[in-house]
Structure 1
Amino acid sequence: MTAPAPQRRTYGGWSRPRSEGMFGLAWEATVLGFVFVVAAMVTAVLISFTAALVVAGSEALVWAPLAFRANGRTGYERAVVMAQWLRTWSRKENLYRSGIFSRHGSAKLPGLLAISQLYEGIDANGYRFGIVHMPKQALYTVMLRVWPAGAENVDQPVVDQWVAAWGQFVASVGGANDIVAITPVISTIPETGHRLAHEVDELTRPDAPELAAAMMTELAQTLPSHTVRLDAWCAITFRATTPERRRQPAEQAVEIGRRLPGITVALGQAGVRTRPMTADEVTATVRRAFDPAAEADLETAVATTDGHGIGWDEAGPISYLERTGRLEHDGAVSTTWEMDAAPSGTVDERVLQWLLAPTPELSRKRVALVLRPHAAADAAGIVDDDYKNALVATQSGKGVVSAHATLRVGATEQAREEQARGHGVTRFGVLITVTSPVGADLPRIDALTQDLSVQARLRVRRAHYYQAAAFAGSLGVGVLLPEMATLPRVMAA
């Protein structure tokens, strides 16, 4: 008699935080609606009924864009984003040209990365690591090279242990009040063959038989053709909490170097082998994202010399044009999609497998999972507020809204219990960037991207009017879109 197969663990229960008001509206829209009703009634009593109708009509025009949403965004959000894009387009700020003959004199990074700076430190284990500094937000980001173990030949209990260790890592990191984001990035790029050729040259002995050497050389030339390789890294973003660390990056580098060994050990328990990325590796990662044609030159330079010799001021594109739904840069076209809604229901740990796996039709694909842990001191209040808002929604909605709100009550109640047991509370989102050569079949590429998202049970939408910002956010170099948004929070209530 055979033993039953172990049951696969499932995950879910996430909910989008929202302050619930009356009739399923946001709390801010509800309060503003009551204020407008009172104002109209006072006008009718003190002036006239006609004046009250005029006031009520004006108030409705102001209130409606905040009360009604389209694709999860209020009318004010959409209007402000559109106005900002029109201003950017009219000023030609969506067009960027750089290089030695430009006003900048080099290929500096554009957009949100324009003011960023790159430093290098040494951790407690003696590894050099690069630090991307965003001075305005006082953010410091360190990137770790990741070699995922994979789960093809791993028993399910081991996979469950890895998932649990990853959850403990995110929760423990969230307990630190200076870590604002963890961004694992899985990128696929075409294999050039330079790395394999260099490795074959090093492994082949000078006195090897001529036939064996010829076979090794031929394999090195034929194997990489039409293949896609996986490249992964994990970015951890710190916020400087003292005036000294805000003013002096060296002070923050010392603190990060002290904590990096513990972070790499914790990631190792989750089945992930890591190593801090040097400043040269960070620069190369950003450069090849903006200039895909530089990939072969970068690999050759790293394999044959001590480094590529490219500085942070030369990591940007030469040509750069942002359109409403795409980003054109250095002979390539990139489209970035953002997660609109998390997977519905429960999923297992392989839910993103097809989205992350190398796809020949989408050879250059980058998926960034942006995790923003809440500090341990704030987590209890957040889950309690979510639970109260979910209870309000069950009393104010009708029909399908009440059924959805009932499920939300169960999810928020479970979150309260898990938080009380020591689990963390984390906000998360997904950015998907697909880069293709100019002239590629873009409608087919868009359809393939949406199909992969559907297989991952993600609902995604194109990042209209902020493709450049979303592209930088998916790089995992410290660009956090919620932290750098220019839209007032009350308009996004």
Structure 2
Amino acid sequence: MSTDTVAEPTYGNWRRPTRPGLGSLGLIGTVAVFGGLVITLLISLISLTAALTVLVPLALALLPLAVRTQDGRNVYQLVALRVGWFQRKSKGSTTYVSGPLSQRPGGRFRPPGLLSRVVVKEGRDAYDRPFGVLHHRSRNLYTIVLGCDPDGGSLVDPDQVDTWVASWGHWLSRLSHEPGLRGASVIVETAPDTGTRLAAEVLPRIRDDAPEAAKAVMREVVERYPTASSEMHTYISLTYGAPQGQKRKIEDVITDLAIRLPGLLAGLVSAGGGPAVALSAERIAEVVRVAYDPAVAGDVLEARANYGSTGLDWDDAGPTATVEKVNAYEHDSGVSRTWMLTLAPRGTVRSSVLRGLLEASPGTRRKRVALLYRPIDPATSARIVEADRRAAQFMATSRRGMVQARAATEVRAAEQTAVEEATGAGLVEFSLMVTVTVDAGGELADASVAVRNLLASARLLMRPADRMQAAAFSCTLPVGILPWEHTLVPREVKEAL
């Protein structure tokens, strides 16, 4: 008898990007500190009172930059968030009404908020299959959505799981070489099974001359099976942007994306994604419609089962009415709350770390877990890796005589990252968002407790997206909304803060 045991692989070595600057001030704060000190010293040569007059306001202005929350936000960012919320609330922007009886032009049910200026076109790939393209006119971005049915991890050898993870990492590293790619997102949506598909498959096949006991058993299976099962959908959205200063016709963009689709789909299949296809414009509209109004999920599935399609258009995929609150987002037949990632798990994790979070949660109408990726080009990746390695070595050598366990771990992680990047691995920034939808606002408290328990088992630290629930809800939809592309302050300036 063999007593050899197979060690289950672990994964990790992700690092938070190093913020340049002095302490928690950031680059802008550090430049302001040294610039202010130089100016103060020059003024002190003339008058000490004038120097104090400059130094005190400067210190008061820089102090909010040094005070930060656990997720790295300073006081100015917190104040800007609250000021923006009160401005939207005073203008009535937190309430949205559409349809023939609203004041919206056209009387259609267009999606609100960040999706209000999105236009959906449709193209054909090399196999003459339709795929939808979402054009974000405000940012001149184009999004395609891929749907897949991943293989489960149950009864799968650890070697096979490790192969899937390696293939997924290769697919992500390939995104860094995709021309014009701004970001990608992976959305896993779970919901209780409505039973529509099972009924459409089983009930028409029951023969009239079958025994009554057999027919009763099949009808009972159709009736009771959905109460203990759930449905799961996985979507991958890829958002592309045109080079700066270059204007392209949307027809040319669709042709370019049609050429890239076969390679992207093949990479997903090899990474354990199962059958992968590009979603048509109608299918994208159906996903958005069900997200805003979960009560129509059964009707959508029934229409597809009976007629093959729903005929739903993007201009009718939005909700009838929505109300954004501080910690919730009310939309048609559901109430949602969204959480954002604050801190990824420390150390290493196993491949099943997110299994509980991805599975359907009892007491919720729908749940979406969105992984957001921002690929970094190879040249920038090399600079970031070398900067992190130098910073880790400096911190380790400047703390002699103290406990250096964490510093030594940081050095080893930085060195390993540098070696992997030099051998061809890609570098991406990632984040995670979770949206939970329930039937009524009174159920959000129980859903929040359930989410906190799931986050604890996944070793994740997240916070609610308070005062921006509507925008966060849109980010977890498979429509290509990238948070860093829809901010008033440029991403480079925010990183310098």
Q: TM-score, normalised by structure 2?
A: 0.93
| Contact 2:24/2:65 (<8 A) preserved | no
Out of 406-415 and 166-175, give the one that drifted further: 406-415
Shift of 1:207: 6.3
Out of 211-220 and 266-275, give the one that drifted further: 211-220
Shift of 1:393: 4.4
**Alignment pair present for 1:310 and 2:299:** no
Q: Could you tell me which residue of structure 1 aligns to residue 39 of structure 2? A: 39
Out of 378-387 and 183-192, give the one that drifted further: 378-387
Q: Could you tell me which residue of structure 1 aligns to residue 101 of structure 2? A: 101
| Contact 2:341/2:461 (<8 A) preserved | yes
Out of 361-370 and 19-28, give the one that drifted further: 19-28
Out of 440-449 and 115-124, give the one that drifted further: 440-449
Q: Please point out which of 153, 156, 161 is paired with 1:154.
A: 156
In structure 1, runs of 5+ residues without a counterpart are: none
| Contact 2:192/2:360 (<8 A) preserved | no
Shift of 1:52: 1.9
**Alignment pair present for 1:382 and 2:381:** no
Cα displacement string for residues 235-276 of structure 1 (whole angstroms, at most 9, x for unaligned residues): 1222234877x5422211111111111111111111112111
Q: How does 1:160-309 map to 2 (within 5 A)?
A: 160-204=162-206, 211-241=213-243, 246-273=247-274, 274-309=276-311
Change (3 A) 1:148 1:456: same
Task: Please report the RMSD computed on the Cα atoms of aligned residues, expressed in angstroms.
Answer: 2.3
| Contact 1:147/1:272 (<8 A) preserved | yes
- Structure 2 counterpart of 1:41, one-letter code: L
Q: Secondary structure at the match of 1:345?
A: coil
Distance 1:79 1:402 in 2: 37
Equivalenced residue count is: 491
Shift of 1:54: 2.3
Out of 118-127 and 218-227, give the one that drifted further: 218-227
Distance 1:393 1:466 in 2: 37
Cα displacement string for residues 200-234 of structure 1 (whole angstroms, at most 9, x for unaligned residues): 14544576555544432332122112532212212
Q: Could you tell me which residue of structure 2 aligns to residue 7 of structure 1? A: 7
Identity of aligned residues (%): 35
| Contact 1:283/1:310 (<8 A) preserved | yes
In structure 2, runs of 5+ residues without a counterpart are: none
- Structure 1 counterpart of 2:74, one-letter code: T
Q: Secondary structure at the match of 1:257?
A: helix
Q: Could you tell me which residue of structure 1 aligns to residue 116 of structure 2? A: 114
**Alignment pair present for 1:490 and 2:460:** no
Distance 1:365 1:193 in 2: 18
Cα displacement string for residues 23-43 of structure 1 (whole angstroms, at most 9, x for unaligned residues): 454333222211112222222
Shift of 1:302: 1.1
Q: Could you tell me which residue of structure 1 aligns to residue 427 of structure 2? A: 425
Change (3 A) 1:398 1:322: farther
| Contact 1:12/1:345 (<8 A) preserved | yes
Q: Could you tell me which residue of structure 2 aligns to residue 407 of structure 1? A: 409
Q: Could you tell me which residue of structure 2 aligns to residue 21 of structure 1? A: 21
Distance 2:333 2:137 in 1: 31
Q: TM-score, normalised by structure 1?
A: 0.94
Q: Which structure is richer in relative contact order (CA contacts within 8 A, separation 6 or more)?
A: 1
Change (3 A) 1:247 1:397: farther
| Contact 2:326/2:466 (<8 A) preserved | yes
Q: Could you tell me which residue of structure 2 aligns to residue 79 of structure 1? A: 79
Cα displacement string for residues 431-479 of structure 1 (whole angstroms, at most 9, x for unaligned residues): 0000011143322211111111111111000112111111100112110
Change (3 A) 1:387 1:179: same
- Structure 1 counterpart of 2:257, one-letter code: I
Shift of 1:487: 2.8
